[in-house]
Structure 1
Amino acid sequence: MLRLAPAAMAAGVLARPWLAPGAAHGAEAFPSRPLTLVVPFPPGGATDVAARIMGEKMAPVLGHPVIVDNKPGAQTAIGADAVARAPADGHTLLMASGTTMTLNPLLPEKLSYRAEDLSPVVLVTTLPFGVVVRKGLAQDVAGFVALAKSRNGQLNYGSNGPTSFNNLAAVSVMNGLNIRMQEISYRGDAQQLTDLMAGTLDVIVVGGSSALAAHRSGRGTIIGWTGEGERLAVTPEVPNFSEQGPGMVCQTHFGLLVPARTPAAAVLRLNQVALQAMQAPELRQRLLEEGQYVAGGSPEDYATYLRRDADRWRDLVGRLAKA
């Protein structure tokens, strides 16, 4: 289970630009109008659905509608930039991913936004990756390791690019198990899933819904998840690689953020309302079915999570970006 940083760490985190409280004196009552929740992904996906359920649950408590606005593209940068440039009054939120807040800022390419342009509200979920092998290849971790070593690096796996989170997960697992595979780049999970189920790709390392689709079809087997702590409730029979040893944990996340310098009172109000929405049974069930851990905590907890995540992946992302 995710261990969140204690609130006692808030003093150090509040000094960070992304938690700057802004001017609170003379501010109008919050919220004073409908809110916009920007989702940097197309409609219909798991993130979009979760955002819509959260918006529905938050609206009655806030007293104003929460309107979901899908702004996909540029590895979530279009949506993130839109929120970073919005008025810092708490009425515009972002449902960000690990790509948005961890990977993009670590890459050498110039971004249209900075991590410091966004202020954390709450960590909504953490999401491990499933290592899925094609039908008949292996049934468990031990069998997979033995096969991979006998093939001497000839097995292949799908990747969304060298510095994508699913490749970081694959590299972490390979290093932890002392095996090697050949990377094949794709533009997303969908074609990887198709090729694995067709038997033309040996392994995919993908997030919950994609991994579970292959597993449930019978044309792929999840041999392990890259999470930590408790096993995912949706597949209690599948171990976490962390049970094999250290160094094989890799999770992305989803969380709510607002523009930097949003008043602290508005951030705290949004945090409280979001936490209440996250207790909705239909939201929790949907997230659990998608292979996600429901998180929570304070804005400072989320800020600490982001800092640690960046520190964890900075060196590997830098090496992979230069490869």
Structure 2
Amino acid sequence: MTFTIGRRALPALGLVAAGTARAQRAWSPSRPVTIVVPFPPGGSTDVTARLVAERMAPLLGQSVVIDNKPGAQTVIGAEAVARAAPDGHTLLMSSGTTLTINPLIGRNLPYKPEDFAPVVHVATLPFCIAVRPGIPDTLEGFVAHVRANPGKVTWGHNGRGSFNHIAGALIQERLNLDWQDVGYRGDAHQMNDLLAGTLDSILVGGATGLAVARSGRAKIIGWTGETRLPNLPDQPTFAEFYPGLVAVTWFGLLAPARTPSEAIARLNAAGAAATADATVKERLLNEGIVAAGGSPADFQAFLTREAQRWGPLLRRLDIQF
């Protein structure tokens, strides 16, 4: 099965072994389950994986351990899982970078989307825009300021091809902005420059944005999710002022393709229960992350929509690595 993004067809993720309803017999892990995180410890993907792993372990009757394999825009970790035994004991905590963006811009990826079977959509992560003092601190005021100062207002992101760079490019195109993007190797450096006043704004994940805002030296003026975060009801979204302007990355668990359906079903049940746990949901929200859940089929449908959403923009930007 394939799905098409403009002129480019991408294979659908390996969902052939997926639904809970189709599980034919019980399956339980016979040893600890490993979740590979293709990022260093401490970031949003890692935090999410550890929260979910902690809750999944008692439900599976086995330890669930985190293995950080960062590097090469998440390629190292993803390739390791794609090549792992399809026995239910190795999972990938993917972000949007790994299976939405990379397949669209990577020229020689060592993995393909169909190398993975979706297990559960864990969460979505809207980006937030934060500004330094001296820059208009409302969303509409900021947009007007950028338009009045073409090419002069700077915004930071995690490098060309990163998800927040692409989200910023969407905002730029949709709102007809001429703002100067500045790439960084991570959140910490751009956060420091924003607080030092040498960078006007940043477009980052919630945890970084909230840390900046709590410092009192910068202010979050808007989010890129569909709706306001329930724990931050006073902070608006772009979509409120500019309908349809939504840009979120995501986190989800995937297994190697050909993992038995009964293993996928059991892992999905544990993962979905973890995302529905009230404590997990609250702790994720404190990081600006919104728990998701659902079936493997739900996750597959979400992935298809995301690829279709970003494909046309990425072709126009002509970003490759």
Same fold at TM > 0.5 = yes
Offset of residue 106 of structure 1: 0.6
Deviates more, 1:276-285 or 1:204-213: 276-285
Aligned with residue 93 of structure 1, among 91, 94, 111? 91
- Hey, what's the Cα distance between the residues in 2 that align with 1:28 and 1:322? 45
Give CA deviations for 1:178-236 in whole Å, capped at 9, x if unaligned.
3220111211211111101100001111110111111121221111101003x112321
List aligned pairs for 1:1-323, cutoff 5 A. Answer: 16=12, 18-21=14-17, 29-229=27-227, 231-322=228-319
Moved more, 171-180 or 244-253: 171-180
- CA distance in 2: counterparts of 1:265 and 1:39, whole angstroms: 24
Residues 150-179 of structure 1: CA deviation (Å, up to 9, x unaligned): 212311111223322112221222233332
**Amino acid corresponding to residue 65 of structure 1 in structure 2:** S
The one-letter code sitting in structure 2 at the alignment partner of 1:224 is: G
Give the residue type in structure 2 aligned to 1:141: L
Return the offset for 1:101.
0.8
Distance in 2 (CA, whole Å) between partners of 1:36 and 1:243 is 40
- C-alpha RMSD of the superposition: 2.2
Amino acid at match of 1:249: V
Question: Per-residue CA shift, 1:53-99, capped at 9, x if unaligned?
Answer: 32222122211111211111111111111111111111111111000
Report the Cα distance in structure 2 between the residues aligned to 1:167 and 1:69, rounded to whole angstroms.
27
Matched residue SS, 1:19: coil
CA distance in 2, matches of 1:27, 1:259: 20
Cα offset, 1:270, TM superposition: 0.6
* Counterpart-to-counterpart distance in 2, 1:17 and 1:322: 23
| C-alpha distance in structure 2 between counterparts of 1:30 and 1:254, whole Å | 24
| CA–CA separation in structure 2 for the residues paired with 1:146 and 1:265 | 54
Structure 2 unaligned residues grouped into runs of 5+: 1-10
Do the aligned partners of 2:161 and 2:319 also contact (CA within 8 Å) in 1? no
Deviations 1:129-166 (A, max 9, x none): 10111112112022212211221231111122332211
Contact 2:70 2:77 in 1 (8 A): yes
> What amino acid is the match of 2:125?
L
Q: Give the conservation status (yes or no) of the 8 Å contact 1:176–1:246.
A: no
Report the count of equivalent residues.
307
Deviation of the 1:29 alpha carbon = 4.1
**How many percent of aligned residue pairs carry the same amino acid?**
52
Q: Which amino acid aligns with 2:223?
A: W
